Amino acid sequence: MSRHTPNLQLDEQGHLLHFLTIDGLRRELLTEILDTAEGFTGVSERTIKKVPLCRGKTVANLFFETSTRTRTTFELAEKRLSADVLNLNISASATSKGETLLDTLRNLEAMHMDMFVVRHADSGAAHFIAQHATPGVGVINAGDGRHAHPTQAMLDMFTIRRHKGEFVGLRVAIVGDILHSRVARSQILALNTLGVSEVRVIAPRTLLPHDARKLGVHVYHDLQEGIRDVDVIIMLRLQRERMQGALLPSEHEYFQLYGLTDERLEAADSEAIVMHPGPINRGVEMDSLVADGPRSVILQQVSYGIAIRMAVISMIIGRQNLQAQA
C-alpha cells in the first residue's frame, strides 16, 4: 500500500473529511474530538440509547482483520447515531476469491455508502481507500498494519483527560511491544500533540524500533525505572500474531521482566492510572490483581471508545451534510 499525506483527512478549513492518522492533526482538532465525545457520554445511560445525527446515512464496517472490541464499539457508535450499518465478513467475501480492494470499494459505493470504517493488516489500506473513494464518502481507519489506530489513541486520550484533567505536566509510560504496535505510534503522536510533559517507552531492545527516540520519547529497558513517578501507565498487548522470529525467550520471562504487578506499580505516582487497549494477556503484560485493581481504568476505556467513535463519525458526517447544503 502506498503511504499518504495527512492533509487527505482535512478540508480547506481544517475540518475532518476522514480520520486516518493522528499525524498532521493540530491540538485544537484533537481537543474538539475530545470535547465532542463528552457530549455523547450520557447517551449510553438513556432509556433510548440513540440520537438522530446520522439518520438516513449508511456506514459499512470493512474488517479485513478480526477485532471484536473495536468492531463492536464502532457498530454501537453507528447505531446510537441512528445510522444504517452494514458489517462485511471479508474473509467470506469476494476478496478471498481474488477481488481487489478497489473492486470491493467500487461495488460498495454502488450501494450508496456514506462512510467506510476499515481495519486491514496492510499499512496504508485505509489511506488507499480514502484516496480512491468518491468525494463526500468518509473513511475511518480502525487499524492498519503497524501504522496507525487513531480512534484507539483518542479514546485513550479521553480516558486520561477524564481521570487526570489536563495533559500539560503529565508523565506517561507506554510499556511493551512498541515495534509492532500501531496503537503505540498513534498514542505517542496524540500525547505529544496534546502537550504532555514526557512520554516514555519501556521495552526490551528487540521490541523497539531502531529509531524509537525520533518518535519524541524517552527510552527505557528497565520497567521499574521507566515507570518511576509517572502519572499514567499504558500496557500494550504482546503482539504474538505480528511477531516474526524469536524476539523473546518466552512469555514467562517477559512477565518476569516487564509484567506489571502491584509491587512494581508502587514505583509510579501514588495516583497513577493503569490502561490497556485490550484484550489483556493476563500473566503476560500484567497480573490480574493490577488489571482488576483500583488503579485500572481498562473497562472505562471500552465505554469511552463508544463516545469517541460517535464523536469522529458525527464530525465527518456533519461535514458531509454541510458540503451537501453548500
As annotated, the binding site includes 69-70, 97, 119, 149, 152, 182, 237, 278-279
Length of the chain: 326
CA distance linking residue 164 with residue 235, whole number of Å: 18
CA distance linking residue 158 with residue 304, whole number of Å: 7
Let me know: does 175 contact 202? Beta carbons within 8 Å.
Answer: yes
Place of cell 500525547: 191
Buried b (16+ CB within 10 A) or exposed e, 147-181: bbbbbbbbbbbbbbbbebeebeebbbbbbbbbbbb
Q: Which ranges in the chain belong to alpha helices (H)?
A: 27-38, 68-80, 101-109, 125-132, 150-164, 182-194, 223-226, 251-258, 262-265, 288-291, 298-325
Q: Number of C-alpha atoms within 13 angstroms, CB side, residue 56?
A: 5
In angstroms, how far apart are the furthest CA atoms of the chain?
60
Let me know: does 141 contact 16? Beta carbons within 8 Å.
Answer: no
As annotated, the binding site for L-aspartate includes 97, 182, 237
Set of cell numbers at residue 12:
480547506
What are the residues facing 115 on neighbouring strands? 59, 138
CA distance linking residue 280 with residue 286, whole number of Å: 8
Place of cell 463492536: 72
CA distance linking residue 134 with residue 142, whole number of Å: 19
As annotated, the binding site for carbamoyl phosphate includes 69-70, 119, 149, 152, 278-279
Q: Is 20 helix (H, G, I), strand (E, B) or coil?
A: coil
